[in-house]
A and B are shown apart, each in its own frame.
Chain A
Amino acid sequence: MEHPRRLFALIGPPSVYLTLFFLLPLGIMAVFSFRAGTIGEARNVFTLEHYRQFIANAAYHRLLWRSSLMAFGIASISTLLAYPLAYFLTFQAGERKLTLMTLIIIPTWTSYLLRVFAWKLILGTNGLLNTLLLSLGIIDQASPILLYSRTAVMVTLVYVWVPFVALPIFAALERIDRSLLEAAADLGCKPWEAFLRVTLPLSAPGVIAGFFFCLIPTLGEYVTPLLVGGGQGAMYGNLIQDQFVRALNWSMGSVMSLAMLLAVIVLLVIFSRMGSFSKLLEL
């Protein structure tokens, strides 16, 4: 600690920011989770009742589990789609790399809500997809299941996330020294063997980062399920939102939020165990 003042100047602003916008709200939420009620006298009574209710209610657990599975599926599919995209950009696009990259990023500048609404137009009963399938004679009746389903939520979220998952993968692929691939070929690898033995392991940190960047926010997602999910596509985030906005049961909402936070922390521990987090920082 040679320059305590400079050190303070460096970590000061972020710590103020984190305290104000992260630790403080979290603390308030933790306090609320123990309050008997949201308004009136009940505010000042502290109880473990909401925790007991949460633990007793299997429906909550099921939804949390189902949402986790959905988030896991969305992150997996996004990664599977993003990898070839990033691979193409890195190794095949050549001089068009920058142009294509911009084309991929531009939609993300428009409002998130707008993009989700766009999918509503595509998936709706009178939407683009149904109309197309009808006119091609593939189906003879407009299918309502395209919208307001878990599938709709997943399709929309995958669409939203693919560019963001592709970015860290792209960065990891870009960093691979091309002479390593030549060395692999020189040592007898066919192109796909070189991919499996060299490209894939060396891009793993980007893949894992992209996967978790998608997985964690998706777990708490509530806007997309609200717009395109309907009853069946609802996620855990919608349940929390209901507690705060409709039931005005902030205490229950807080308990549920904390439960999700715990789930995220478990995921993060797995993340760092996979060793990629430290590697990302190091590279």
Chain B
Amino acid sequence: MSEPAVELRDVTKVFTSTRGDLAEEVYAVQEMNLEIAQGEFFTLLGPSGCGKTTTLRLIAGFERPTKGEIFIHGQPMSKVPPNLRPVNTVFQNYALFPHLNVARNVGFGLEVRRVSRPERERRIHEALDMVQLAEMSNRRPSQLSGGQQQRIALARALVNQPAVLLLDEPLGALDLKLRKAMQIELKQLQAQVGITFIYVTHDQEEALTMSNRIAVMNKGRVLQVGDPVTLYEKPASHFVADFIGESNFFRGVVEAVSGQLVEVQVSGTRVRATAGALPPSSGQEALFAVRPEKVRLIISEESIDGALRGVIQEVIYIGTDTRYIVNVEAQSPVAVRVQNGCGIAPQEYRRGDVVQLSWLPEDAHLLAD
């Protein structure tokens, strides 16, 4: 395997702010370890304030790590200033130069690197073509819409052909429709140019749509790294299961363990789940999660082996699916999603129906709390 494009080894960033004689320490990034492969579309995903921007700024060189080391293409970066790092950034607020027109904004990096004029003009033109804004080259940034500015910011970074492109919520300011269109455009562009993208977002759907791999962050720590399918199908912690998609959480006591298969006593019923990375022992408290679309509903007053008994509290029809909220004794209400596919009548079940809830053991994951 070739060396990673970017590697973070044990990186910690502490901000110290003094207010009066009160020194306050903020751990923005804690003991972060990441390896990002060349050509990868890698996403940092997490709620506001979890340290995503700080991580990008550490890689770009605007902040220095308090501890640990960052490598780009195997080279340690601790003594390399931002202007010498082989990375470019698309800033959250675009940071286009207001005194320069679009063409000079895009050509800024080339001008600084003393690229010859004809070569520069060719590459500016190419970059503007790529983001489909060739006809805007004489405008000032203030004369462009938010979406256009975003594309110029992208062109300004890509024109330098960096080894790694850092993008800090570049679609944050766009409306939903444009955002969706740009997600696909960006993804295609990345595949086309083959540059490593490190992308920051707090939107889990955006992360799932675009990324090869995602690092889920919370409070300055990376909780789980994986491709979208793994993160969705096999979340390792309560936070990840909750933050990515929707999950039903059940609490119970472990009754029996055989290999990966775990039997858990939940509200007086024995149900089955998968152990995952943390093999539990009998008698231990356990928490596991099941996705709403992985829960099967069966109308039956009689109990079924391995199924939880519940009462339908609410039926919500949302076109492609119907959503049921089911009350289960001593648990939070359970969400169930049933697709309205061929031959399935919508609203098959009604409010007040007594149902049995079951799932495949591999769809129920024991979680770290």
Q: Once bound together, how far apart are the Cα atoms of A144 and B348, in whole Å?
A: 107
Partner of B95, one of A177, A189, A190, A193: A177
Q: Once bound together, how far apart are the Cα atoms of A189 and B83, in whole Å?
A: 6
Q: How far is the CB of A236 from chain B (nearest CB, A)?
A: 37
Q: When the two chains form their complex, are residues B98 and A187 in contact, meaning their CB atoms are under 8 A apart?
A: no
Q: Once bound together, how far apart are the Cα atoms of A38 and B82, in whole Å?
A: 71
Residues of A within 8 A of B84 (CB): 188
B112 in the interface (beta carbon within 8 A): yes
Residues of B within 8 A of A202 (CB): 98-99
Partner of B93, one of A179, A187, A193, A198: A179
A140 in the interface (beta carbon within 8 A): no
Q: Name the residue on A nearest B162 (C-beta).
A: A186
Q: Once bound together, how far apart are the Cα atoms of A189 and B62, in whole Å?
A: 13
Q: When the two chains form their complex, are residues A182 and B97 in contact, meaning their CB atoms are under 8 A apart?
A: no
Q: How far is the CB of B63 from chain A (nearest CB, A)?
A: 10
Residues of A within 8 A of B89 (CB): 182-183, 186
Q: When the two chains form their complex, are residues B112 and A182 in contact, meaning their CB atoms are under 8 A apart?
A: no
Q: When the two chains form their complex, are residues B112 and A189 in contact, meaning their CB atoms are under 8 A apart?
A: yes
Q: When the two chains form their complex, are residues A186 and B60 in contact, meaning their CB atoms are under 8 A apart?
A: yes
Q: Name the residue on B nearest A193 (C-beta).
A: B112
A43 in the interface (beta carbon within 8 A): no
Binary contact readout B137-163 vs A (1 if CB under 8 angstroms, 0 otherwise):
000000000000000000011001000
Q: When the two chains form their complex, are residues B95 and A187 in contact, meaning their CB atoms are under 8 A apart?
A: no
A62 in the interface (beta carbon within 8 A): no
Q: When the two chains form their complex, are residues A186 and B99 in contact, meaning their CB atoms are under 8 A apart?
A: no
Partner of A180, one of B81, B83, B95, B109: B95
The 4 closest A-B pairs by CB, nearest first: A187-B109, A183-B95, A179-B95, A188-B112
Q: When the two chains form their complex, are residues B82 and A185 in contact, meaning their CB atoms are under 8 A apart?
A: yes
Q: Name the residue on A nearest B87 (C-beta).
A: A186
Residues of A within 8 A of B60 (CB): 182, 186
Given contacts A179-B91, A182-B91, contact A187 B112 (CB under 8 A): yes
- Within 168-187 of A, Cβ neighbours of B (below 8 Å) are at 177, 179-180, 182-187
A201 in the interface (beta carbon within 8 A): yes
Residues of B within 8 A of A188 (CB): 83-84, 109, 112-113, 160
A197 in the interface (beta carbon within 8 A): yes
Given contacts A179-B91, A179-B93, A182-B91, contact A187 B108 (CB under 8 A): yes
Q: When the two chains form their complex, are residues A187 and B160 in contact, meaning their CB atoms are under 8 A apart?
A: yes
Beyond contacts A182-B91, A185-B83: 6 other A-B pairs, Cβ-Cβ < 8 A, are A182-B62, A186-B60, A186-B89, A187-B160, A188-B112, A189-B112
In this complex, how many residues of chain B approach chain A with their Cβ under 8 Å: the count is: 24
Q: How far is the CB of B162 from chain A (nearest CB, A)?
A: 9
Q: Name the residue on A nearest B18 (C-beta).
A: A95
Q: Name the residue on A nearest B88 (C-beta).
A: A186
Q: Name the residue on B nearest A176 (C-beta).
A: B98
Residues of A within 8 A of B83 (CB): 185-190
Q: Once bound together, how far apart are the Cα atoms of A41 and B109, in whole Å?
A: 75
Q: Once bound together, how far apart are the Cα atoms of A201 and B81, in whole Å?
A: 24
Q: Once bound together, how far apart are the Cα atoms of A107 and B189, in whole Å?
A: 59
Residues of A within 8 A of B98 (CB): 180, 202
Q: Once bound together, how far apart are the Cα atoms of A185 and B85, in whole Å?
A: 10
Q: How far is the CB of A154 from chain B (nearest CB, A)?
A: 33
Q: How far is the CB of A161 from chain B (nearest CB, A)?
A: 27
Q: Name the residue on B nearest A198 (C-beta).
A: B97
Q: Once bound together, how far apart are the Cα atoms of A246 and B335, in whole Å?
A: 98
Q: List 24 A-B contacts (CB under 8 A).
A: A177-B93, A177-B95, A179-B95, A180-B97, A182-B62, A182-B82, A182-B91, A184-B97, A185-B61, A185-B62, A186-B60, A186-B83, A186-B87, A187-B83, A187-B88, A187-B112, A187-B156, A187-B160, A189-B112, A198-B97, A198-B99, A201-B99, A202-B98, A202-B99
Binary contact readout B195-207 vs A (1 if CB under 8 angstroms, 0 otherwise):
0000000000000
- Of A189, A201, A202, chain B has the most CB atoms within 10 Å of the CB of A189
Q: Once bound together, how far apart are the Cα atoms of A180 and B98, in whole Å?
A: 9
Binary contact readout B89-110 vs A (1 if CB under 8 angstroms, 0 otherwise):
1010101111100000000110
- Within 260-281 of B, Cβ neighbours of A (below 8 Å) are at none
Residues of A within 8 A of B96 (CB): 183
Binary contact readout A199-212 vs B (1 if CB under 8 angstroms, 0 otherwise):
00110000000000
Q: Name the residue on A nearest B61 (C-beta).
A: A185
Q: Once bound together, how far apart are the Cα atoms of A190 and B82, in whole Å?
A: 9
Residues of B within 8 A of A179 (CB): 91, 93, 95
Given contacts A201-B99, A202-B98, contact A183 B112 (CB under 8 A): no
Q: When the two chains form their complex, are residues A186 and B82 in contact, meaning their CB atoms are under 8 A apart?
A: yes
Q: Once bound together, how far apart are the Cα atoms of A190 and B60, in whole Å?
A: 14
Q: Once bound together, how far apart are the Cα atoms of A43 and B293, in whole Å?
A: 103
Q: How far is the CB of B195 from chain A (nearest CB, A)?
A: 15
Q: When the two chains form their complex, are residues B81 and A185 in contact, meaning their CB atoms are under 8 A apart?
A: yes
Q: Once bound together, how far apart are the Cα atoms of A119 and B166, in whole Å?
A: 56
Residues of B within 8 A of A189 (CB): 83, 112
Residues of A within 8 A of B160 (CB): 187-188
Q: Once bound together, how far apart are the Cα atoms of A201 and B97, in whole Å?
A: 10
Q: Once bound together, how far apart are the Cα atoms of A54 and B284, in whole Å?
A: 106
Q: Once bound together, how far apart are the Cα atoms of A188 and B110, in whole Å?
A: 9
Q: How far is the CB of A95 from chain B (nearest CB, A)?
A: 9
Q: Once bound together, how far apart are the Cα atoms of A197 and B100, in whole Å?
A: 10
Q: Once bound together, how far apart are the Cα atoms of A198 and B83, in whole Å?
A: 15
Residues of A within 8 A of B87 (CB): 186
Q: Once bound together, how far apart are the Cα atoms of A144 and B84, in whole Å?
A: 55
Q: Once bound together, how far apart are the Cα atoms of A188 and B60, in whole Å?
A: 11
Q: How far is the CB of B58 from chain A (nearest CB, A)?
A: 13
